[in-house]
Structure 1
Amino acid sequence: MISTYMKRYTYKSMTALTAAALLATVAITPASAQEPSIDAEASILVDMESGVVLYEDNIDEQLPVASMSKMMTEYLVNRAIEAGELSWDQELTVTDEVALLSQDRTLSNVFLRTDTTYTVEEMYEAMAIYSANGSTIALAEAVAGSEAAFVDLMNETAEELGLTNTHFVNSTGLNNSSMQGFHPEGTDENAENEMSARDTATLAYHVITEYPEILETANIPSLPFREGTNDYVEMTNWNWMLPGHLFEYEGVDGLKTGSTSRAGSAFTGTVEQDDTRLLSVVMRTEDNSARFQQTKVLYDYGFDTYETAEIVEEGQQDPEMLTIEVPSGRDQEVAIATASNIEVPVSSGDEENFDVEFTIAADVLNEDGTLDAPVEAGTTVGYATISYAGEEDVEYLNEKLENQNRVPVVTQQDVERSNWFVLSMRGIGDFFSGLWGRTTDMIGGWFS
């Protein structure tokens, strides 16, 4: 239950400092900013820190996703390693079916043999850098025992992550018809993985935030596979926005391309400049070059239009409720303030009104609105929530990220409980104070 200790602020009534802080609450595009026209069937641009969607077009339609679905395989391999179920130096052998599929050079592949072993790390690098399909299936089998079981795990994890417009039929993103009859049992021979642009961005968000080391592999422009053997191949990263490639863009360090006849050319990218990280997805662009050209348009728009600003400072207080009383404490009140700050993208030129609400959780207070001692510093007593009060809605990648626009209000120091003698004296004082008040009221009544 939340008690309504609230304060509404408007832009005109705030001090210059507070106004500047709250102005950065959300990323609202000013009328003067020209949104880009992206030539893709679906596209999205997200600020990673806040989860605010800076640009969107058709982001909830479920579309073929091609090899961008390998991000889920990357996620699950890293999760298995974190859980101790796999290790990077673990040796793997491949099945006859995987070896045969790996020899299909019309697909992205490194050549695999049944008479040797490969480390998990080798297979992972081939998947993440070169989008090698045989290596991906071998990793899926290592994680779950079979690719069919791994597909079940992919779909279970999609549900766990809140991916509502996603369905996986294999670990690679190939159309099942391209798998020489070796597609996972229980899936249609012509089926293909499908995701929405929002779901693809959400998956990428989890990949990057939960396993940031993934970018250390994704950002490798080129890497040899089995150098010095007959199976040697130079694995050139399909992400042409990395350093040294045709569409090099400063700060790009991931993440995954995709291409099939049904999916067209797609790209999930991420870029960091000046401590601002953006995440993008484009789906069904015209060709392999177009997916990077359209991503560049998104990145230019994001960096040119928005800047990151601190909108709530750690230790910020509600001017109408600076403290909460603690009658049983050595100190009879405790200061309360925000526990952390919030940084979000803000566009210039937006002078609309903003709402700030400080709410106190009634279930942590006594009926008279006080706290019982002892009180520990950092105890959450409520929340400070900041929202845009204009006509446009702010879009977030998902509901969980939207809740980041709220920070806890916490006690600022410990308050120890007073000893029984002091509490007794306070009680006596309160009694006589009340008695004196009633007596003076009575006397006053006699002479009125």
Structure 2
Amino acid sequence: MAAAAIWTFGSTPAQAAEPEIEANASIMIDADTGQVVYEDNTDELLSAASMSKMMTEYIVNKAIEDGDISWNDEVAISDKVRELSLQTNLSNVPLRQDEAYTVEELYEAMAIYSANGATIALAEHIEGSEEAFADRMNQQAGELGMENYEFVNATGLNNSTMVGYAPEGSEENAENMMSANDTALLAYHLLDEYPEVLDVAGVPKKTFKEGTEEPIDMINWNKMLPGLEQEYEGVDGLKTGTTDLAGNAFTGTVEQDGNRYISVVMNAETKMSRFTETAKLYDYAERELESRTLVEKGGEIDGDSSIEVDGGQEESIDVTAGEKLELISSEEIEPEYEIAVSKNEAPIEKGEEVGTVVVTNSEASYVQGGEDRTEVPLTAGEAVDERGWFGNIVQSIGNLFSSVRHAAAGK
């Protein structure tokens, strides 16, 4: 048996004026929930350039989590990787075939310095070939819920720049494509499932193969990191990208006032303007946005939240929100609640989910889907046992006398 009740406490006020971002597409989301707090042209398929290395990072971390590879694995350097790693017009660390490189070293070169040869070496180590790895990238994108994407290689380079080593079966001038929404969704999953990626992506400078005869100083292309040209307080990731088709792109993340945001700026005018446009988003978040608590975990919904119970020793029990519900907004939100009960038959355990609490006027949308409805579980605040045969007899007698009284009153 199910029931529903609605309590209304006002409406959602208008949002403050948003910044104007000078780029082809841009988006900013709350990293904890995926709530979209700014968006412009987020569904157009655009070149992702090296931002697509976030997918390679995701797959590397997943392969380690699954036990398929380890950080200490030594990675063989193929002729293809050796040749590509020597291309000084591309972001690279030169790789030798008579040198030992671990997964961890190559991953750092990829995440910090966007090293393309190192990225392909990791792809070959995991899947045997870059072609097979590109297939896995596309498969993984679908599993993450991405909708507007196409991966043709592990790096995000245009195939034509790969000196004849582009993956077989892909077009000569093809390169990886994603929408701003899907780029943000990829970053959301990367940080949600593997937050430790920031331990590497947030490193401003590091020496590759330090202590050897051929050390290479790597300076992160993310110039918003501490100590770099466009340092912005709280920025600790995530990935830049540049090709002729992509222009200048950047997926960033910042932590400020207890909130973490993920931003994407695609096809900005210059390498530096991708950071100044990102700073506009972060300034807006710092100035205008705040996390607002709509429902407290364990809290009553309307001041007197209870539901009737069928077949229980008690006729009703208190119910509470099973999770805390927060939204990012520039103004206070007076929510409208809808409580839907899915279970009210005894026995019910304390803390058991018995329905949902839905905020119906949030006007919130999420990078992973779920527009306009924000919900948390409704849980039992106390346990209630079944009445048993004796309780049922007592209840039946009570109901009988109640019926008699009502009948008599009607005469």
- Residue 414 of structure 1: aligned partner: 383
- Residue 385 of structure 1: aligned partner: 358
Alignment of 1:190-209 (within 5 A): 190-209=173-192
2:369 to 399, 406, 417: 399
- Residue 17 of structure 1: aligned partner: none
- Residue 348 of structure 2: aligned partner: 375
Q: TM-score, normalised by structure 1?
A: 0.86
1:281 corresponds to 2:261: no
Given that residues 50 and 114 in structure 2 are in contact (C-alpha distance below 8 angstroms), is that contact kept between their aligned partners in structure 1? yes
Given that residues 90 and 120 in structure 1 are in contact (C-alpha distance below 8 angstroms), is that contact kept between their aligned partners in structure 2? yes
Given that residues 49 and 343 in structure 1 are in contact (C-alpha distance below 8 angstroms), is that contact kept between their aligned partners in structure 2? no
Secondary structure, counterpart of 2:195 in structure 1: coil
Bigger CA drift: 269-278 or 44-53? 44-53
1:109 to 83, 92, 100: 92
Alignment of 1:320-339 (within 5 A): 322-339=305-322
- Residue 429 of structure 1: aligned partner: 398
Cα displacement string for residues 223-275 of structure 1 (whole angstroms, at most 9, x for unaligned residues): 11112333310111111111100111111010000111111111100000121
Distance 1:323 1:297 in 2: 46
* One-letter code aligned to 2:377: P
2:337 to 326, 335, 356: 356
RMSD between aligned residues: 2.2
Closer/same/farther in 2, CA of residues 193 and 358 from structure 1, 3 Å limit? same
* One-letter code aligned to 1:379: E
- Residue 247 of structure 1: aligned partner: 230
Distance 1:226 1:314 in 2: 49
Distance 2:403 2:2 in 1: 31
Given that residues 354 and 388 in structure 1 are in contact (C-alpha distance below 8 angstroms), is that contact kept between their aligned partners in structure 2? yes
Distance 2:296 2:2 in 1: 23
Cα displacement string for residues 294-329 of structure 1 (whole angstroms, at most 9, x for unaligned residues): 111111011111111211112343549732233533
Shift of 1:355: 2.5
Bigger CA drift: 247-256 or 40-49? 40-49
Closer/same/farther in 2, CA of residues 388 and 317 from structure 1, 3 Å limit? same
Number of residue pairs aligned between Structure 1 and Structure 2: 411
* Structure with bigger gyration radius: 1
Distance 2:153 2:10 in 1: 52
Cα displacement string for residues 61-88 of structure 1 (whole angstroms, at most 9, x for unaligned residues): 1111110000000000001101000111
Closer/same/farther in 2, CA of residues 188 and 219 from structure 1, 3 Å limit? same
Cα displacement string for residues 176-201 of structure 1 (whole angstroms, at most 9, x for unaligned residues): 01111111111111111111111111
Given that residues 252 and 270 in structure 1 are in contact (C-alpha distance below 8 angstroms), is that contact kept between their aligned partners in structure 2? yes
Shift of 1:354: 4.5
Alignment of 1:105-184 (within 5 A): 105-184=88-167
Secondary structure, counterpart of 1:257 in structure 2: strand
- Residue 5 of structure 1: aligned partner: 5
Closer/same/farther in 2, CA of residues 74 and 417 from structure 1, 3 Å limit? same
Secondary structure, counterpart of 2:6 in structure 1: coil
Bigger CA drift: 249-258 or 35-44? 35-44
Given that residues 102 and 109 in structure 1 are in contact (C-alpha distance below 8 angstroms), is that contact kept between their aligned partners in structure 2? yes
Q: TM-score, normalised by structure 2?
A: 0.94
* One-letter code aligned to 2:161: S
Given that residues 51 and 401 in structure 1 are in contact (C-alpha distance below 8 angstroms), is that contact kept between their aligned partners in structure 2? no
* One-letter code aligned to 1:358: I
Given that residues 360 and 372 in structure 2 are in contact (C-alpha distance below 8 angstroms), is that contact kept between their aligned partners in structure 1? no
- Residue 15 of structure 2: aligned partner: 29
Distance 2:81 2:310 in 1: 72
